[in-house]
Chains A and B, each alone.
Chain A
Amino acid sequence: MHKRGLGSDGAAPYVLLFPLIILLAAFILYPVAMNLFSSFTQWKGYGPQKWIGFDNYVKMFQDTAFWTSLQNTLVLALYIPIGTFFTLLIAALIREGIKGWKVYRAILYVPNLLGYVIMGVIFSIYLRDDGALNVLIKAAAGSPLHFLIDPVLAINTIGFSLVVWLHLGFGLIYFLAAMNSIEPSIYEAALVDGAGFWKTFTNVTVPSVRFAIEFFVVFNFIEVFARMFPFIYTLTQGGPGYSTFTLEYGIFAQAFQKFQVGYASAWSMVLFIFCAVISTLQIRMMRRREA
């Protein structure tokens, strides 16, 4: 029986892994362990930490802001299938070779270059009641749409603008690359069989880029749960009221506006669990593909 380890490969694998292990320990394991510890303490981000057991968790589960933040995060997550389908469809249309597709692709990618903070600030000016978009809406419909002060519109505005529109550019590039790896003969066969755009899309394109779709969905989940903060902070600051107050925004508010870092750590553990579940799913998908 072949035995793996130091005996067969020597110390080389461990030496090669050592820098990565150090980095993982310093930037992932240690912060997570510290956060877990902090979640059982009363702490304002500096000075002594006071052990309070599960008090932060009890408080969190009784806090309506926490449940509202979860609900808002889940509403945003509902935009993931919409955004994925929409992006995939546009990529398929562009792949068909519509005139000037390179220009469209470039235009749609611009938001990705600007980043969330800049886009958030631009949207906060563009979408306000007396902003540029509402000038047009008022001219056409007579009254503005309260994108930023109507609670239902506000969360959906973020869902559409971030999950669908802002991710469109990246998704297009990614899906187009995946579609380019599909054998042209498959499309030719579909054409011979008389399949139109829609049948080709559902029976050839989508199954062929399944792995890319799975990755894009996982990427979007991580974005929604853990990377939306800059956009929300610059666009709505979690408001009006609590209507765009997400789990991630709640952590910020508790830790850096109220200086209840121990309590914010309890919220962070919930976010960590969500992210861990999503990452595990992603790893399983990758393994399934490898198999």
Chain B
Amino acid sequence: MKKIALGLGLALLLAAPTLFADTKLTVWDFKYGEVTGAQVPMKQIDALFESAHPGVTINHVAQPLEPQYYQIIQSAAAANSGPDVAMFHPGAREYGFSDILVDLGPYISDVKSQFTTASMEMVSIGGKLGQPIKLLPMTMQGFGIYYNKAYFKKAGLNPNHAPKTEKEFLEACAKLKAAGIVPIVSGQTYTVDFFLRCAASNAFGPDVTGLVDHSKKFTDPVFVESVNFLKTLIAKGYVEKAGLSRPYFMDGIDKFAAGGGAMFVGLLSDVGNWKIFSDKLGAKNVGYFPAVNFPDGKYKDQQVAQGAGIGLGVLTWSKNKKLAADYVKFVTTGKGAQIYASATGALSPNTVASDSNSAYPVLKVIQEYLKTGLSKDYIPLFYNGYEDDANRLCDQAFVTGEISTDQFIQEYQKLIDK
């Protein structure tokens, strides 16, 4: 009997590597297509995970960006089959697909405290702490205005003084234009969209969630002023009109990074961020401020932010949920989080991940704003596809002029009253 047991034990031991070798974890990632960008650190992270988990192979699949990405996710959901782990945008996108995402609560109790409260709030269903957590955040996100200091100097402006008030901003644009410099480089309607998201922080500050419970409205005088201000900027030719007809948002980023203009309404993580601009324009040449402050705006120098910009979740059909959750934790904490943040310029919502990008002066500026005043971004607070509806209205008001700014405000409000 002993011999049989020993034999069986030996056979199992010999078969073990073969059994583990079959464990393949499939990851869908809409950033992985950036061959010289996000793919580089992800390959490193995958290799580290594989070496820490012998017999496990990561099948990392590059998927297209949204909106196509979520159509693929929708197909996978219809087939009830697909990846073990997938990347999602926290907020409306995540909540819309919450029924195919595993509650990570039981798997993340050891690391949960490492993440900022804002990020945990955003990845919790409905944006409410205490609700199921379906993603772990890889980045935090936000929007703000980057400027090219050399161009400011050339136009006779103080490069170390950001034009943060309405008056200063208009004067800066006028001087830049007079000097033959494009004041604001644009990238499709996203420039309008991002500008308004920044402006909302000046109007609503931390109370922006009031838009959800209708205690706040877009008819707020400061928000209305910002809408009219943006219209003025376009009318005066300060916003590059050609950029609004470019087919890709990335073209606007590339143009600003190549010195095509003085200012750009960019992001804090992912694409069009401080690192990309600093690497291209020179680290000391990039200035930043989070929004234009309007005279009646109650909240000055507010940084609009999403606690979580992108995150990873485990799909309900995965046969290796525990392993998949381990992978999600591996990417978003410890060395994984550090590798990703330092390579891509993404701001990590993981407070333990050390920051190796502190050499960038503009990052220090951003971090100061993040410490002093945070305002939530309103776009992810609403329904799946809200940004598309909102951007079509932005087009009609700011690009084609089909509707007035008053009509825009009314329609913009109607979208969230639905």
Residues of the B chain whose Cβ atoms lie less than 8 Å from the Cβ of A144: 242
State whether A125 and B242 are in contact (beta carbons under 8 Å apart), knowing that A239-B395, A241-B395, A242-B392 are contacts in the complex: no
Residues of the A chain whose Cβ atoms lie less than 8 Å from the Cβ of B400: 149-151, 240-241, 243
Contact A256 B67 (CB under 8 A): yes
Assess whether A129 is interfacial by the CB under 8 Å rule.
yes
Contact A45 B244 (CB under 8 A): no
Assess whether A124 is interfacial by the CB under 8 Å rule.
yes
Contact A130 B242 (CB under 8 A): yes
Of A47, A241, A257, the contact of B399 (CB 8 Å cutoff): A241
Assess whether A170 is interfacial by the CB under 8 Å rule.
no
State whether A258 and B384 are in contact (beta carbons under 8 Å apart), knowing that A149-B400, A239-B392 are contacts in the complex: yes
Of A121, A128, A245, A259, the contact of B96 (CB 8 Å cutoff): A259
Closest chain B residue to A149, Cβ basis: B245
Closest chain B residue to A45, Cβ basis: B74
Contact A46 B78 (CB under 8 A): yes
Of A121, A146, A245, the contact of B245 (CB 8 Å cutoff): A146
Residues of the A chain whose Cβ atoms lie less than 8 Å from the Cβ of B388: 253, 257-258
Q: Is the interface of A mostly helix, strand, loop or mixed?
A: loop
Contact A258 B77 (CB under 8 A): no
In the bound complex, what is the Cα–Cα distance between A146 and B70 (angstroms)? 31
Convert A134-172 into 0s and 1s, putting 1 for each residue whose CB lies closer than 8 angstroms to a CB of B.
000000000010111111000000000000000000000
In the bound complex, what is the Cα–Cα distance between A127 and B245 (angstroms)? 9
**A238: min CB distance to chain B, Å:** 8
Contact A128 B247 (CB under 8 A): yes
Assess whether B246 is interfacial by the CB under 8 Å rule.
yes
In the bound complex, what is the Cα–Cα distance between A239 and B388 (angstroms)? 10
State whether A45 and B384 are in contact (beta carbons under 8 Å apart), knowing that A129-B241, A240-B395 are contacts in the complex: no
Contact B77 A46 (CB under 8 A): yes
Residues of the B chain whose Cβ atoms lie less than 8 Å from the Cβ of A151: 400, 402
Assess whether B385 is interfacial by the CB under 8 Å rule.
yes
Closest chain B residue to A259, Cβ basis: B384
Assess whether A44 is interfacial by the CB under 8 Å rule.
yes
Of A44, A124, A149, most buried by chain B (CB within 10 Å of CB) is A149
State whether A44 and B247 are in contact (beta carbons under 8 Å apart), knowing that A151-B402, A241-B392 are contacts in the complex: no
Closest chain A residue to B72, Cβ basis: A256
In the bound complex, what is the Cα–Cα distance between A239 and B246 (angstroms)? 12
Residues of the B chain whose Cβ atoms lie less than 8 Å from the Cβ of A129: 241-242, 244-246
Residues of the B chain whose Cβ atoms lie less than 8 Å from the Cβ of A147: 245
In the bound complex, what is the Cα–Cα distance between A178 and B101 (angstroms)? 58
Contact B392 A149 (CB under 8 A): no
In the bound complex, what is the Cα–Cα distance between A7 and B388 (angstroms)? 61
Convert A214-256 into 0s and 1s, putting 1 for each residue whose CB lies closer than 8 angstroms to a CB of B.
0000000000000000000001001111110100000001001
Assess whether B374 is interfacial by the CB under 8 Å rule.
no
Assess whether B200 is interfacial by the CB under 8 Å rule.
no
Residues of the A chain whose Cβ atoms lie less than 8 Å from the Cβ of B246: 128-130
Contact B78 A128 (CB under 8 A): no
Of B241, B242, B383, B396, the contact of A241 (CB 8 Å cutoff): B396
In the bound complex, what is the Cα–Cα distance between A258 and B247 (angstroms)? 22
Residues of the B chain whose Cβ atoms lie less than 8 Å from the Cβ of A238: 392
Contact A258 B399 (CB under 8 A): no
**B397: min CB distance to chain A, Å:** 9
Convert B330-341 into 0s and 1s, putting 1 for each residue whose CB lies closer than 8 angstroms to a CB of A.
000000000000
Assess whether B99 is interfacial by the CB under 8 Å rule.
yes
Contact B392 A44 (CB under 8 A): no
**A223: min CB distance to chain B, Å:** 23
Of B96, B99, B242, B245, most buried by chain A (CB within 10 Å of CB) is B245
In the bound complex, what is the Cα–Cα distance between A130 and B260 (angstroms)? 13
Assess whether B71 is interfacial by the CB under 8 Å rule.
yes
In the bound complex, what is the Cα–Cα distance between A241 and B397 (angstroms)? 9
Of A130, A241, A242, most buried by chain B (CB within 10 Å of CB) is A241
Residues of the A chain whose Cβ atoms lie less than 8 Å from the Cβ of B241: 129, 146, 149
14 contacts between A and B (CB under 8 A): A44-B96, A47-B77, A129-B244, A129-B246, A130-B242, A148-B245, A148-B247, A149-B241, A151-B402, A235-B247, A241-B396, A253-B385, A259-B70, A259-B384
Chain B residues engaging chain A, CB cutoff 8 angstroms: 67, 70-71, 74, 77-78, 80, 96, 99-100, 189, 241-242, 244-247, 383-385, 388, 392-393, 395-396, 399-400, 402
Given contacts A256-B67, A259-B74, 18 further A-B contacts (CB under 8 A): A44-B96, A46-B78, A46-B80, A46-B100, A127-B245, A128-B242, A129-B245, A129-B246, A148-B245, A149-B241, A151-B402, A239-B392, A240-B189, A243-B400, A253-B388, A256-B71, A257-B385, A258-B388
Chain A residues engaging chain B, CB cutoff 8 angstroms: 44-47, 121, 124-125, 127-130, 144, 146-151, 235, 238-243, 245, 253, 256-259
